[in-house]
Amino acid sequence: MSQKLRIIPVGGLGEIGKNMMYVEYGNNAVIIDAGLMFPENDMLGIDYIIPDFRALADKKDLVRGIIITHGHEDHTGAIKHLMAEFDAPLYATPLTRGLLEVKLREAKLYDKVTLNTIHAGDRTNIGPFGIEFFHVCHSIPDGVGLGITTPAGLIVHSGDFKFDHTPVDGWPTDYAKLAEFAGRGVLALFSDSTNADKAGWTPSEAVIDPAFDAVFREAPGRIIIATFASLISRIQQVANAAFKHGRKMALVGTSMVENARMAQKLGYLEVPDGLIISTDEALRLPAKKVVIMTTGTQGEPSSILSRLSEGRNRQFDLLPNDTVVLSSHPIPGNEEMVHRTINKLLQRGAQVIYDPIAAVHVSGHASQEEMKLLLHLVKPKFFVPIHGELRHLHQHAALAREVGVAAENVTVVENGTVLEFQNDTLTVGDRIPGGYVFVDGTGVGDIGPSVMRERESLAESGLVIVNLRVGAGGQLAGRPEIISRGFVFVKDETELFEAAQNQIARVAARLGGGGESDLRHRVESELSDFFYTETKRRPMIFALVNPAAQVDEPAAG
């Protein structure tokens, strides 16, 4: 009997971001992508989220290669975490490799990783897998999809794609290779579902050029354009518009500066000499002669755009005639933060331009008609939608059935579900354990659901600390000290806390000098009920028990 081809989507199925897939045959495996996901509104204090690949810990020795399809954060952002655990060579196109190098150098991993440069059109063997890289259009140059020839059959992974007939770099998706795959017979297609609920075709990147031309022609002062640091094609379009309209261009933010420098070096960003200047130089020029590019399109609190919206950016502030352009769409879950940033920018007197006000951004993902076209071109036996929330996956599955893929061969799964291909059949196995791995500062995976619930509670109702002084007989010595933060307004707390002190005295009297632990827990429990009765809020309560003598003894002289 032949061996099984096992495919496990580790991330990206059931959410937007943290894309990662594990492909195994026998004692050999490859990993596709290692992305991050931006935190949702209720994930307080979290920097970003990475795929939970801890269940693959016992398979490290099987991994023969890690393939990165393109340079966006949702496909590269977890690379330093993955490479710290897996000793396998990386495969990426030149631009994607350059972006990965920046991340690996920052993490001091560059010298420990083997990097292999591949190009669209190349074929390479990794263990029993014959990998063919085919070019796809996306909102970043040098993206590829994968044709993976395995002993069980041909698998096609679309990567992030769109069918753009007039892409900025003049390099359309490789239709011929997709049709060739169909001629060989495709066992399964795994395809990007991000825009599965968008009818029609995704507009071409070319529609942005006239929109930028209008902005540059009409802006009375400085132009500040926010986009993703990895969106090299957008930097190119802004550079073209700046040159045409006689403006100098400044890039703000370490990641954007590094990425642009690397893209210029590799030839993916062509900018006339002298067009890009430092931020300090730009600030000395007349406002009409400047365009500034920065990050912060998702409303991230620490980003330059957010700081500008709140008047707390150190290097420069908004001017009355500034025009701010958000060249991006909000990632699902970030809409509230993005809209809040836009409102604050408007309050500070800036003119703000964003889609749908003007066509200053188009999606890099296929819409429904392009998804149908890919299915027709590839003609897979089995279809598994990837990259999207559950609603996107189900809508993409419906499109596949609509264009003729047998209903029983269309499978919607979420992260961790084991898919097994053997003898031209697909079996959906169990789901391996996994979930969100939160990155908070230098901590990776040490923030769990209980900590997140505590943060939510602190954010919603605040904190109360009760300092109890206890005498030798276990009785309260004096009135308890109560300190609160984020719970009640100062003017309201005196009467409430006096009543709380009386409640604590009654609790202590009922205990009759019980142990410190009993007193602490009983005070916390009773105060929680008391505060809820009085305020309909449940702050986090911490009772501290200290011996009265220790608290009251005079300081040593």
**What residues are labeled active site?**
192, 365
Place of tokens 């809209």: 339
Measured distance CA(316)–CA(46) in Å, rounded: 27
Residues 6+ apart with CB under 8 A from 99: 71, 76, 230, 259, 262
**Which amino acid is located at 280 in the chain?**
D
Query: Phi and psi at residue 255, in whole multiples of 5°?
Result: -65, -40
Q: Is 285 exposed, middle or buried (0-12, 13-18, 19+ CB in 10 A)?
A: middle
Between the CA of residue 237 and those of 208, 233, 419, what are the distances in Å?
Answer: 8, 6, 42
Query: Phi and psi at residue 154, in whole multiples of 5°?
Result: -90, 125
E strand or H helix that includes residue 263: helix 254-266
* Joined tokens for residue 88: 């396998």
Measured distance CA(59)–CA(30) in Å, rounded: 11
Q: Is 414 helix (H, G, I), strand (E, B) or coil?
A: coil
Measured distance CA(259)–CA(269) in Å, rounded: 10
Kindly report whether the peptide bond that precedes residue 539 is cis, defined as omega within 30 degrees of 0. Answer: no
Kindly report whether the peptide bond that precedes residue 203 is cis, defined as omega within 30 degrees of 0. Answer: no
Measured distance CA(399)–CA(393) in Å, rounded: 10
Please, where are the H alpha helices in 512-542? 516-535
Smallest CA-to-CA distance from 100 within 82, 76, 136, 123 is with 76
Give the residues across from 9 on adjacent strands. Answer: 21
Our CA angle for 257, 258, 264, nearest 5°, is 90
Query: How many Cβ atoms are within 10 Å of 349's Cβ, its own excluded?
Result: 11
Give the residues across from 394 on adjacent strands. Answer: none
Beta-sheet pairing, 153-157 with 186-192: parallel
Give the residues across from 324 on adjacent strands. Answer: 224, 352
Place of tokens 């028990």: 545
Please, where are the H alpha helices in 287-389? 304-309, 335-347, 368-378
Cβ atoms of 405 and 375 closer than 8 Å = yes
Please, where are the H alpha helices in 10-93? 73-76, 79-83
DSSP state of 365: S
- DSSP string for 5-25: EEEEEEESBSBSS--EEEEEE
E strand or H helix that includes residue 240: helix 232-244
**Which amino acid is located at 117 in the chain?**
T
